[in-house]
Amino acid sequence: MDRQLANFIRALRNLEVRISTAETLDAFSAVELCGYEDKAFLKRSLSLVLPKTIDEKDTFDACFDQFFSFKDVAGERAESSSDSDDAESEDAEGGEGEGGGAGGEPGERKTQASAGKNKKKKSKSKNPNSLDGLEEEEEDLGAGAMSEASSPLGQLLMNNSKVELSVATSQAGEAVNLKEIQVFTQKGLYTRRIMEEMGLADLNREIRELRDRGAVPDRRLGQELTHRRDWLREQVRDYVEKQFLLHADVSGRRLREELLRKVKLSNVEQRSFRLIQEIVFKMAKKLVALHSRRKKVFKRGALNVPRTLRHNMSYDGAIFDLHWKSVKVDRPKVFAICDVSGSVANYARFMLMFLYSIEEVMPKVRSFAFSSDLAEVTDLFSRNNLEDAIAKTLRDYSGGSTDYGQALADFKKLCLDDIDNRTTIIILGDARNNFGDPRTDIMKELYDRAKRVIWLNPEPRSSWNVGDAEMKKYIAYCHQADECNSLMHLERIVGNLLRTVG
């Protein structure tokens, strides 16, 4: 069972629940104390040592219920013994022993033979789901005595215990490394492997032998094992699907997210925007957690002697309270200037989304949008939710011929007096000015007044000076100029910005 617990922790990590090695050891210690008998008690015990946040606790609850899906063993055995007693009483009253059917569950005899007990009909049908691929010829033999199954899987199926079947299925899944399933199309492969691990070959051989015998009890057992084999196949298929959702579905989603982090935003299809927005929020949340923690740590190292002595005068010179020299960390003022013309609109969309998603650690963001004339859109973001504000920005300011010179002139008129040595200016655009005046004099003025000027160009560096691009002139007045055309680039640049201002 230690392996089961390790696999459960692996599934939690796959669902992005952060679990350290120490917490894993705590979980093993907790299981040693509480055991596996009481499922509810086990769940409460593990919930104390594994999940930490509210979101992680919700994920833990769902994952636990899906992973430990076995029914209570004692209750199942009691139910099975009750069914056996009922079957024996029916045999005593009716004089006929019913060996149990394979309808909804093993142990429930719900065959359709009772509708025509005295009618014998043969039906030839090819079962497309038959694992042995044989053409089956079934004859309605009615209810009656049956032989005893000889194959291990046949005996397991005739025992009518769902718990034993569930445990056997789980053990077979462990033997064939079901947790390594990666893609949806592997479900049929792993279903077959699990059935074979459980003894499918011996069961199929027994069914063929029973079908060829002349004795009615043998043939009746063959039909019954066929029904139960088909029922078991459905149970195994369901089990494989649940394990796929538990182990592989999140991994597949994570792989897709990783690809979308690296792909050019201009190549992203419309249907992927929702997922990219989720990635942006997740990345922003990660940066917020990283940098807000760092800011909360009080910087220590150098003792502030005058302040320590002054605050301990009431203790007659005894040093009780130490005071340390600290450096006040000012959060930056960020001015984001975004070209929202058609060629770079998608880049502007996600940069604005990123900047406003990390407002907890960088709250002073003022945003400006332009294609020709520049306008401030900060109020749009304060009055509307993030998605609506971005949509309105792109709708209202994306028209017109791109003019960086005019945009810089408008920006100077609106904000020059607000720019100081705590200001970071981020410009997102391809610097293609349609052969207009680039107004590099304004760029120099911004460069001299601001703490940092960062230019993010979505085009590759090889295209920065091709055609009407003015990047060669602008780059002289930038503290930093980077290619930025994917979420990975954007995360790195914003992360560096937060690091330098901390």
Residues 478, 455 contacting (CB under 8 angstroms): yes
What average pLDDT does range 301-320 have in this prediction?
Answer: 78
- Asked if the model's pLDDT at residue 450 lies above 80, the reply is yes
Q: Distance from CA of residue 192 to its chain's centroid? A: 28
Q: Quote the pLDDT of residue 303.
A: 78
Residue 133 lies in a domain: no
Dist CA 285 CA 278 (whole Å): 10
Helix axes 273-296, 249-262, angle to 10 degrees: 90
Residue 481's nearest CA partner among 355, 489, 287, 468 is 489
Residue 225's nearest CA partner among 158, 137, 143 is 158
pLDDT tens per residue, range 395-405: 888 777 888 99
- Asked if the model's pLDDT at residue 104 lies above 60, the reply is no
Residue 266 lies in a domain: no
Residue 190 lies in a domain: no
Q: Residues in the chain, how many?
A: 502
Token pair belonging to 311:
């605050």
- Among the candidates 67, 91, 111, a domain finishes at 67
Dist CA 334 CA 415 (whole Å): 12
Residue 414 lies in a domain: yes
Domain containing residue 19: 2-67
Within 13 Å of residue 311, how many CA atoms lie on the same side as its CB? 10
Q: Strand order of the sheet with strand 452-457?
A: 374-376, 364-370, 333-339, 423-428, 452-457, 480-483
Q: Quote the pLDDT of residue 471.
A: 92
Domain total of the chain: 2
Residue 297 lies in a domain: no
Q: Quote the pLDDT of residue 212.
A: 84
Can you give the pTM of this predicted structure? Answer: 0.50
- Among the candidates 38, 67, 96, a domain finishes at 67
Band (pLDDT 50/70/90 cuts) for residue 476 is very high
Band (pLDDT 50/70/90 cuts) for residue 393 is confident
Residues 6 or more apart whose CB falls under 8 angstroms from that of 494 comprise 287, 354, 355, 358
Residue 24 lies in a domain: yes
pLDDT tens per residue, range 169-187: 888 888 888 877 776 778 8
Of the listed ranges 88-92, 208-212, 334-338, the one predicted with least confidence: 88-92
The residue that leads in pLDDT, 225 or 364, is: 225
pLDDT tens per residue, range 121-154: 444 444 444 444 444 455 666 677 778 888 888 8
For the domain that residue 354 is a member of, what is the CATH number? 3.40.50.410
Residue 421 DSSP class: T
Token pair belonging to 434:
């349609």
- Among the candidates 42, 67, 92, a domain finishes at 67
pLDDT tens per residue, range 37-96: 888 888 888 888 888 888 788 888 888 887 776 544 334 443 444 444 444 444 444 333
Count of C-beta atoms within a 10 Å radius of residue 126: 9
Residue 489 lies in a domain: yes
Residue 456 lies in a domain: yes
Q: Quote the pLDDT of residue 495.
A: 78
- Asked if the model's pLDDT at residue 346 lies above 80, the reply is no
What average pLDDT does range 12-34 have in this prediction?
Answer: 84
Q: What are phi and psi of 122, to 5 degrees?
A: -105, 135
